[in-house]
A and B are shown apart, each in its own frame.
Chain A
Amino acid sequence: MTRVAFVLLFGWVSVAIGQAQSPLEAAAQMAARISSQLPRHPTVSLELQNLSSMTPGDLSTFGRALEEQLRRSGLAMTATQPEVRARITISENARGLLLVAEVLTGDNRTVIMQPWIAPPASETKPRIRILRRPVWDQAEPMLDLLLLNSESELLVLTPTAVSGFRMADGKWMPTGVAALSLARPSARDPRGRIEGAPGGFRVYLPGTTCSGTLQPTLTVACAPGNEPWPVNPRDPSFVARWVTDRNVLESPNFQNAFYAGANGWFSTTGHRIVDRAGNTLGVSEAWGTDFANIESSCVSNPTVLVSGSGDNPDRDQAQALEIASGRATPVSESTALPGPITALWPAETAGQATLVVRNSKTGNYEASRLGVDCAE
């Protein structure tokens, strides 16, 4: 009762997440505010300056939209001897774009400011080599996902829960959430794996192993421990398990800790790709720490999808490499990704891999399925 009363007493405070505005919407709002400052319908000149990261093309689009909206609000636009000068600056602060209008009438200056959440830039048209099928995105980190029952059901693994979804009318509809009872705090750079099991699924985290059911409801039960699991669902001979509290794996197939492994090769904490005997794979330095086996009918040798290397927090890349005779050779161009890869695993379906990228612009985690398209 006390809790109910307390909830009624207080109003929830939440961070307002503004809606993105198109250039037209932003221009219409600014035009309305400018015209409201003017008592009648004077002649107005419009000056535009850009102090932001906005591209010249987008600036031009906004400028045209603003001029049109000012006209629609009844102002007469002129370039010569205006009664009012409207100087619009596309500025930027820590939170994003800021439109600043200086309305100059004689010696009077009125300043109007309007934050603008611009829509994300559209994706550029690609040359097709690697295909991506977006599956799910969310603000919370995603470690892995599992598609079940002819891809009509989806399980999303986060550091703290498994969420279930069912496809309906082309959309994933939530079916339940089961919280994970962790034996240890999530590792920094959290990693984990979810895979199908008879009657349900299994979850493997550094320090915790869980079993789950889908029917009648989504449930999961966890226990401390690091059980081994097959890294590639189609290769039961290669098993690995997490090192507690870390982002690395250990395996009877290999004597050192490693980030990822496939086809007898492992990415070590020394950032080399080596085999069981310690032989180094001849490979471009662009090969990062994550890679996953992917089957392809058009490449005769084992093929892997690899992440990029380096310290860039804003972008990453994926590329398909063929491994033969101790060398890895690119068989696709590198594919630009909008942020660092946080997970790259072989999928439960042949010819696919699960990819999770943290979009550096939106901050969201975007899960996709990657496939290799052999058609040129």
Chain B
Amino acid sequence: MRLRAWAWIALSSIWLGALTGATRPRYGGALTVELSNASLMLDPKSAAGHLSPSIAETLVRVNARGVIEPQLALAWQHEPDNKRWRFSLRPKVTFHDGEPLTAVSAAPGLLAALKKRYGDVTVTAGGHTIVVQFEHPMPELLAELARPETAIFHKSDANPVIGTGPFRVVAWDPARRLTLAAFEDYWGGRPFLDSVVISLGTGAARADVFDIPFGSTRRVVPEGTHIWESPPSELIAILAANPQSTLLQALSLVIDRAPIVSVLTQRRGEAAFGILPQWLSGYAFLFQTAPDLARAKQLISQLRLPSINLTYAANDSFARAVADRVALNARDAGITIQPTTNPGGSLTLVRWPLESAEATAELTRLLRFLGAADLAASIDPAKPETLYEAERALLDEHRVIPLVYLPEIYGLAPRVHNWEAAQKRDPFRLNLENLWVDQ
């Protein structure tokens, strides 16, 4: 809050039409969405996926700047050792079935979600307060509680997810269609849309909103469609099952990422030399290198090289194209790489989607996945150098070779409004509650 001086000032002026404004939203109407990937949908078992925050909410959330914000919890406190955390719940919140949100109603689901990852957790409830206790320090608890997996919801025989979010589930046909309706009593204000119908895997581009995955055939879009790209949000990388430092170092030197970006992603992707993209870390440029075929050949000149299998997902045509490109580059250095869909290759091409704009949480999550808990523990969120050093150490071990970052791309019908502003709130989710449509 800031006190302002009390004086008239003049405003800058420009000619009519040079600016646009923000038209006030209109209530009503139905939005149709077509998604190609089931992982983008609601998963009633885990409450994961891009849509789940519209239905089931978490205690806290990460905003587009990577800052933790209150959601179902209005305030929180912790002991200095970060083992005991106390959350005060937002008042006057109800579930879609009319049950009020209380600590007692929220605690069991929260405990079950946290127990999957932390065996030493206990959750106790009293009134509007939840206390989460660990036997080990949990400084990253807020980031953990922002993940969709810890969303607060319950189930009934008829409804797989009864949450507190702006939309309630009306019908759910697994792997085919999800129908949502506006939750009239949503604490943050009823959504503008009356309903949303999400279809899966039709491969068409007829809906108001549809995704355009890399490698898909959904390239021809209706006239007037607006194309929206998220910031780079998914890392394509090679993971090594058994690090062979010299060979992998040579491979990382010989891969030319420029054709992957220009040809395979049609310049929509971004070359990846580090784990976190530049927009998120601010230091990714420090990892940038040019291919060095001579150095790669020198490194492997004394090695006896077997043929190496590079495994990619069978249904992922984009991954296949990338694997072929890597094999081509490797051959120039005398390394034989065989792309295959058979599991068990010593190298694996993986897609690593970012979940939030919280750089520390994202890097920690990947480091833990790779078994580098020691590097994760060395990160101090207040010191960006520690993120860089952890990433540098991981890359120097050649256990992971970053290749390219991909954005998410959506086609939007002209009648869809407020998409840009809605996605600015959180580019990693479909923020349906702030969209509105012409009718």
Contacts and interface: CB of A to CB of B under 8 A. Distances in A.
Interface of A: 6-7, 9-13, 15, 51, 89, 91-96, 98, 100, 102, 111-115, 123-139, 167, 170-172, 184-190, 245-248, 259, 269, 271, 284, 286, 288-290, 307-313, 315-319, 330, 332-337, 340-341, 364, 371, 373
A284 B18 CA distance: 12
A126 B19 contact: no
Nearest to B20: A310
Contact of A94 (B65, B86, B388, B389): B65
Interface of B: 1-27, 64-68, 76-80, 84, 86, 92, 166, 184-192, 278-283, 285-286, 357, 359, 383-385, 388-389, 417-421, 424, 433-434
Q: Across the A-B interface, give the 8 residue pairs with the lowest CB-CB distance, nearest first.
A: A308-B21, A340-B22, A93-B282, A188-B189, A310-B20, A313-B421, A98-B282, A289-B24
Contacts of A190: 189
B385 A126 contact: no
Contacts of A129: 10-11, 13
A131 B7 CA distance: 10
Most buried by B among A95, A132, A172, A330: A95
Contact of B420 (A11, A309, A313, A317): A313
Contacts of A184: 185
Contacts of A311: 20, 22-23, 417-421
B355 to A, nearest CB: 13
Nearest to B67: A15
A317 B9 contact: no
Given A188-B188, A316-B22, A127 B13 contact: yes
Contacts of A248: 27
A373 B11 CA distance: 11
A311 B25 CA distance: 9
Nearest to B84: A10
Contact of B23 (A10, A310, A318, A364): A310
B357 A330 contact: no
Contacts of B84: 10
A296 to B, nearest CB: 15
Nearest to B6: A170
A254 B389 CA distance: 65
B283 A113 contact: yes
A131 B12 CA distance: 10
Given A130-B11, A190-B189, A336-B12, A310 B22 contact: yes
Contact of B4 (A7, A111, A137, A340): A137
B284 to A, nearest CB: 9
B28 to A, nearest CB: 8
Contact of B11 (A112, A126, A171): A126
Contacts of B24: 189, 247, 259, 288-290
B231 to A, nearest CB: 8
A133 B9 contact: yes
A319 B24 CA distance: 17
A9 B77 CA distance: 10
Contacts of B388: 111, 113
Contact of A336 (B13, B26, B67, B186): B13
B57 to A, nearest CB: 14
Contact of B16 (A259, A284, A310): A284
Given A92-B282, A185-B189, A187-B189, A308 B22 contact: yes
B2 A138 contact: yes
Contacts of B92: 185
A134 B9 contact: yes
Nearest to A151: B6
B19 A11 contact: no
A284 B23 CA distance: 14
Given A126-B12, A316-B19, A335-B13, A172 B4 contact: yes
Nearest to B93: A185
Nearest to A16: B382
Contacts of B26: 269, 271
Contacts of A130: 10-11, 13
